[in-house]
């Protein structure tokens, strides 16, 4: 038996992976071979050194993680329901998916200007699910088991990301998605006065949108703090 093979066995033995029938041969070799004996001692010492020098995370880690989580949730929510960018032309508003309060407001205002909106909206168009295909998230290849189909669309992520208690979480999910509105034959004809009015409303919506976004951030932040405080309070013995 070569020393090199014996050293493989020593490594396996440390992890409880050496076949029992080989243990006796290993011990026999070690009795006669001072080199391999010292090799094994060094490996054990190495394990102790690693265990004894385990690095410590800074105290601030949990807090930073919460901030990081809030940011990630906000980004995910925004990816699911992008705030519309300000663009010339009133139609931008209606061709965009999702911003609940804005759309709700727009709907109300539009009803005032154009009449009932129901007839203009296609039925059953909900917000799109977030589909994130990230290679780092694939499940490990498992031994002999079939590959896992990761079904990101099964549960739209935004259900969990948005503030749930009170607020506008619920209404955000009912945002309208309607990209084909203007191409429909039922496209309303607007006179100049109506267009001017819509531009004004658009500006109002923009202002409200900014406020809403600022409040959303504030809520996320306060929620994170609340979670932190209540968790600590409960966990302390």
Applying CB under 5 A, the residues found at the interface with Zn ion are 3, 33, 36
Considering the rule CB under 8 A, would residue 233 count as an interface residue with another protein?
A: no
User: Is residue 119 a contact partner of residue 187, using CB atoms and an 8 Å limit?
Assistant: no
Residues from 69 through 88 that contact another protein (CB under 8 A): 69, 72-73, 76
Question: Which of the ranges 22-30, 40-48, 94-102, 176-184 carries the binding residues for another protein, by CB under 8 A?
Answer: 40-48
Distance CA 72, CA 139 (A): 21
Return the ∠ at Cα 231 (arms to 230 and 233), rounded to 5°.
65
User: Is residue 63 a contact partner of residue 228, using CB atoms and an 8 Å limit?
Assistant: yes
| Nearest-approach distance from CB 66 to another protein, in angstroms | 10
Tokens of 232: 């600590």
User: Is residue 104 a contact partner of residue 173, using CB atoms and an 8 Å limit?
Assistant: no
Question: Which of the ranges 28-36, 43-51, 103-111, 172-180 carries the binding residues for another protein, by CB under 8 A?
Answer: 43-51
Distance CA 10, CA 43 (A): 9
Considering the rule CB under 8 A, would residue 237 count as an interface residue with another protein?
A: no
Contacts for 199 with CB less than 8 Å, ≥ 6 apart: 90
Question: Smallest Cα–Cα separation from 91: which of 75, 73, 76, 106?
Answer: 106
| Nearest-approach distance from CB 15 to Zn ion, in angstroms | 19
User: Is residue 66 a contact partner of residue 48, using CB atoms and an 8 Å limit?
Assistant: no
Considering the rule CB under 8 A, would residue 59 count as an interface residue with another protein?
A: no
Considering the rule CB under 8 A, would residue 170 count as an interface residue with another protein?
A: no
Nearer to another protein, 119 or 142 (CB): 142
Considering the rule CB under 8 A, would residue 180 count as an interface residue with another protein?
A: no
Per partner kind, with CB cut-offs from 5 to 8 A, the member of Zn ion, another protein, none near residue 54 is: another protein
Could you tell me the CA-to-CA distances from 141 to 17, 108, 121, 132, 145 in Å, in that order?
21, 52, 45, 19, 8
Residues from 122 through 161 that contact another protein (CB under 8 A): 132, 134-143, 145, 148, 150, 152, 154-155, 157, 159-160
- In the complex, the residues that contact another protein under the rule CB under 8 A are 4, 7-8, 11-12, 15, 17, 39, 42-43, 45-50, 52-58, 61-62, 64-65, 68-69, 72-73, 76, 132, 134-143, 145, 148, 150, 152, 154-155, 157, 159-160, 164-165, 227, 230-231, 234
């Amino acid at each position: 038996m070569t020393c090199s093979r014996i050293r493989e066995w020593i490594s396996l033995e440390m992890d409880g992976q050496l076949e029992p029938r080989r243990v006796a041969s290993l011990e026999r070799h070690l009795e006669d071979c001072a080199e391999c004996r010292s090799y094994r001692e060094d490996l054990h010492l190495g394990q102790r050194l690693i265990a004894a020098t385990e690095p410590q995370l800074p105290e601030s880690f949990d807090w930073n993680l919460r901030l990081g989580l809030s940011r990630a949730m906000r980004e995910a929510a925004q990816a699911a329901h992008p705030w519309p960018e300000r663009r010339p032309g009133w139609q931008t508003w209606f061709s965009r998916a999702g911003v609940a309060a804005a759309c709700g407001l727009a709907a109300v205002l539009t009803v005032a200007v154009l009449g009932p909106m129901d007839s203009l909206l296609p039925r059953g168009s909900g917000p799109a699910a977030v589909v994130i295909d990230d290679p780092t998230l694939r499940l490990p290849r498992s031994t002999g088991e079939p590959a896992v189909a990761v079904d990101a669309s099964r549960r739209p992520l935004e259900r969990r990301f948005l503030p749930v208690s009170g607020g506008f979480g619920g209404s955000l999910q009912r945002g309208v998605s309607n990209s084909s509105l203007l191409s429909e034959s039922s496209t309303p004809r607007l006179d100049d006065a109506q267009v001017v009015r819509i531009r004004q409303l658009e500006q109002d919506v923009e202002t409200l949108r900014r406020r809403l976004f600022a409040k959303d951030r504030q809520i996320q932040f306060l929620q994170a703090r609340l979670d932190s405080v209540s968790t600590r309070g409960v966990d302390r013995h």
